[in-house]
A and B are shown apart, each in its own frame.
Chain A
């Protein structure tokens, strides 16, 4: 994947390169041998062995469902392995529940944070680590937490309620929580999925510092560049098995990708060959009320038929609000949104937009994309049912529904489907997103609004999503791709708009210069 090549090497890289040689020699902090874990018939971990050295930052890579999180949950005591041994500093241990892990100095930061929103940072830390007298333990924890935070360079206000904090601050609270519990082994499950590049860089700098003190850090990730840049060693898992552990210097992205997916996936830029007339035009669009995202003001851009228009920008600059306007979840206060062949859009409902040929891929899949408790068949069929397909209002034709779901699941390569009446929530991220795509593209949309469609997806699933977006464009469709992942924007877009502080501040024709876009994203004041 050309777009994933490392460009700017952060400071921590030199340090980690030097450490690579040492890491292999350093004593083993944690040694997992022949771990097997199955859920019913499904073998999630198949004879996995893994070792973690003292003083290293170790990346655990793999596709969704490869078993990375399961393995780490075994270490953290959330799952008990069916067989296999765990040794800590050379002596065998049985970690059969989280409090044992806690006592042994193993701390894990989960993908979804376990914090009480209304409590302050310190109260959250106290909740996990407090002992005895509340006041005294608070005072002691405050000193200790402050000391640790300063040592690793976490600036954080301990007395602010966690609910008011940004995602990256909340993550710091989680990390402080395990550090105040004297964790020597720190496990981070997809720590950067919700962070910006700069925040991620700061996080890994701090983690490198922790490793230098003799602790061990493991982080689970999908992002190759991150593993190559920040890890001392990289372990790749695939389909519940261990593939290999390598040093980042000995490998490049292409090799790493093929280790992860078992084949070589290279996504290439593939510009549109047939750009048509303007399809959707935004003129001076503003919206300020409601919602958490930054307001947008005076947004102007035009997207043509057969074109992918990428909107780049650091998250929280109004992208969510723009997506909400374009998908009918919000109505704009000012300005005009013109649709070729229809006229001005003015508060059309999501249903009306769908009838006009819109397809929407929301960034928050769990919230807007799928109903996790309902079946795959229901989630796939709902838009068609709304459009009046599948029988009469009084009698839904489940046979036809089943047949067409079956077909779509196959056509969009949705895997992990054991039965169509299986809950959609049981699909892994990539397959859930493929199901969303199958539904949204089932009616050959002429306009696709996609907001961070590949967030949290592995390389293979992301490539599939990209392929479908390209297909939609090549059929003459108009695609608006809003993404915080600059690699994705550069790979996919025919034209790029940069969003900052609620407005489109610059436009580039593809192929665009990465640095120029980066400058526009952050430089605009």
Chain B
């Protein structure tokens, strides 16, 4: 086909609407579409909230004013965004080699277990404790993804299933630890004992930015660099776009996949560390909830672009924080909160569709 703009033209049932694939949408247009999607989602959510009895002024106050102006809730959003950015990167890097890592949650759990192991046993000098915990978390995340990776490469076992099942194993192992050997000796609650001060990710001391946010940003830069400028990232594009061709031209697809997938596991593990040492200061039995699958969502919405990961992680984090305050201050049922979160995500995802397609009205 000689046609450039139209890869495929398809007539829908509404025969006056033509759907065409865009070759490339300019960046400002992409941003505008995304913003429009977000706005629409917020509007629909506002309608939902008004319909369950929240006053319009309260809505404005809670969302627009307090999230943006209050440094405490902004800090809250950022703190939650940090691990979300890291899991988003984890998903992106695995998806880039067409390895569908659905096991981020399990790797997050194992990362926290690795970090807590170091904290409980006081391994290494206190000045390096956080570093050791982070390294242990990354190692534990890699270990947890290694088995599905091996199974996929050796026996072609679908990683979607195996990584998903590994989540349940990880969860039950976590519960075993928290109700058994690692139960908090002081309170007898199913938490690990609270981390010492040297084991907590505090503030960087600069603009009240926490260390976990700084760590996340460092990894955003690293991953963005790898994707955009390195040889590894260049070859990874081929593994993603056409693995058969990549192999035929001499790309070592297996090695590239192994490296990327291990990096994905390591990042998930690091996110577990960021949550437990940056937010909870201990490992709880539900610290991971909402992070594993959000990571997949973020990676997907960001189309594996590390910079876009930051944006979507921030969005999801804001939704999480706002959802909490809605529940607490307005007695909105959790199901409505979930409904709102899903509405916004769907609207943003729909704008993705418009970025890739053009709708034309004929005659």
* Residues of chain A having any CB pair with chain B under 8 Å: 39-40, 42, 44, 64-65, 67, 69-70, 78-80, 96-98, 240, 327, 329, 349-354, 360, 362, 367-374, 378, 382-383, 385-386, 391-396, 416, 418, 423, 425-426, 428
Contacts and interface: CB of A to CB of B under 8 A. Distances in A.
Contact of A329 (B23, B231, B232, B247): B247
A70 B9 contact: no
Nearest to B6: A39
Nearest to B239: A371
14 contacts: A65-B2, A80-B362, A96-B15, A98-B11, A329-B247, A371-B237, A371-B245, A373-B242, A378-B234, A382-B235, A393-B231, A393-B232, A396-B229, A426-B23
B14 to A, nearest CB: 11
Contacts of B237: 371, 374, 378
Contacts of B230: 393-396
A80 B252 CA distance: 45
Contact of A79 (B9, B242, B246): B9
Contact of A396 (B234, B249, B362): B234
A386 B250 contact: yes
Interface string B101-136: 000000000000000000000000000000000000
B295 to A, nearest CB: 24
A39 B4 contact: yes
A64 B362 CA distance: 29
B4 A69 contact: no
Interface string B1-29: 11111110101000100000001000000
A423 B4 CA distance: 10
B52 interface: no
A367 B249 contact: no
A208 to B, nearest CB: 29
Contacts of A40: 4-5
Contact of B242 (A329, A349, A371, A396): A371
Interchain residue pairs A-B with the least CB separation, the first 3:
A351-B250, A371-B241, A371-B242
Contacts of B207: none
Contacts of B234: 378, 382, 385, 396
A350 B247 CA distance: 7
Given A39-B5, A393-B230, A395-B229, A329 B248 contact: yes
B238 interface: yes
B2 A369 contact: no
B153 interface: no
B342 interface: no
Interface in B305-342: none
B251 interface: yes
B229 A394 contact: yes
Contacts of B65: none
B23 A423 contact: yes
Interface string B215-251: 0000000000000011110110110011011111111
Nearest to B242: A371
A348 B6 CA distance: 41
A39 B358 CA distance: 13
B245 A418 contact: no
Contact of B248 (A39, A65, A70, A350): A350
B310 to A, nearest CB: 22
A371 B245 CA distance: 7
A428 B241 contact: no
Interface in B137-164: none
Given A329-B248, A383-B250, A70 B238 contact: no
Contacts of A44: 2-3
Given A44-B3, A396-B231, A362 B242 contact: no
Contacts of B235: 382, 385-386
Contacts of B6: 39
A518 B251 CA distance: 39
A57 B231 CA distance: 54
B10 to A, nearest CB: 9
Nearest to A78: B9
B37 to A, nearest CB: 24
Nearest to A43: B2
A240 B1 CA distance: 12
B127 to A, nearest CB: 30
Contact of A371 (B2, B3, B23, B246): B246
A369 to B, nearest CB: 7
A367 B250 contact: no
Contacts of A42: 2-5
A97 B23 contact: no
A362 B244 CA distance: 11
Contacts of B238: 371, 374, 378, 382
A372 B3 contact: no
Contacts of A65: 2
A428 B15 contact: no
Nearest to A68: B2
A391 B229 CA distance: 10
Nearest to B2: A65
B3 A70 contact: yes
Contacts of A368: 244-245, 248
Nearest to B11: A97
B263 to A, nearest CB: 15
A352 B234 CA distance: 20
A397 B142 CA distance: 32
A299 to B, nearest CB: 21
Contacts of A350: 247-250
A426 B250 contact: no
A428 B2 contact: yes
A354 B247 CA distance: 12
Nearest to A79: B9
B229 A382 contact: no
A416 B2 CA distance: 9
Contact of B250 (A79, A80, A354, A423): A354
Nearest to A425: B7
Interface string B194-229: 000000000000000000000000000000000001
A373 B238 CA distance: 9
B242 A372 contact: yes
A367 B246 CA distance: 10
B29 to A, nearest CB: 15
Contacts of A383: 249-250
